[in-house]
Chain A
Amino acid sequence: MKNNIRVLRAERKLTQGELADAIGVSRQTINAIEKGKFDPSLPTAFRLAGVFEKRIEEIFEYHEEG
């Protein structure tokens, strides 16, 4: 699953740590999500959408694997 969190974060001048604090996860988790190494749960995706004031599908792009 791809996402544009890094871009959205940069637009709002947020550090990974600040975004992590805003949604209640660790900085490592934000880093892993940004790099596409870890897909967040639905509640975390909704919290991210809330911070960026976007819909989930505007942040995440789903690609069928294989």
Chain B
Amino acid sequence: MNSVTMERKSERLRRVRLLALWTFVWTISTALVVFGSEFIWNGTKGLTVFALGINILLGIGMILAHRNFLEILDELERKIQLESMAITLGLTLVIGLAYSMLDVTDVIPWDAEISFLVMFMGICYMLAIFMNTRRYR
């Protein structure tokens, strides 16, 4: 393995770790907004808005880290990611709206929560990556 390849692989690992770190910190800040408001600062609006601002900034950091990660992938890996994101976006739109309509029309007795959509997106994205990786194997 030549030095350029080694450098590329270590840079790739660095970007993966950065993405994982940003995602982790953003997830923690999301939990902090919800649970902090309820259990720590007892619904003080100013603190909730502040925590939300931090959450949004960390979310932007996570998005930039993801873009940074995509840039180091080769063309096939990027194609796999792009196709997986397209499938996830399309399915989330269709299934998300259908789920919301089930709630609006009172077909389901519970509220259509946004958390369902986030979980659905995660599972969808992982499955799409798995299937697309197999397709080009």
Interface size grouping (class) on chain B: 10 to 19
Write out the residue numbers on chain A whose beta carbons fall within 8 Å of the beta carbon of B2.
21-22
Task: Say whether B103 faces chain A, with CB atoms less than 8 Å apart.
Answer: no
Q: Which of A21, A37, A41 contacts B136 (CB 8 A)?
A: A37
Write out the residue numbers on chain B whose beta carbons fall within 8 Å of the beta carbon of A44.
75
List the interface of chain B (C-beta within 8 A of A). Answer: 1-2, 4-5, 8, 74-77, 79, 133, 135-137
How many chain-A residues does the 8 Å CB contact rule pick out?
Answer: 14
> What does the 1/0 interface line of A38-65 toward B look like (CB < 8 Å)?
1011001000000000000000000000
**With contact pairs A32-B136, A37-B136, A38-B136 given, residues A26 and B1 touching in the complex (Cβ less than 8 Å):** no
Write out the residue numbers on chain A whose beta carbons fall within 8 Å of the beta carbon of B136.
28, 32, 37-38
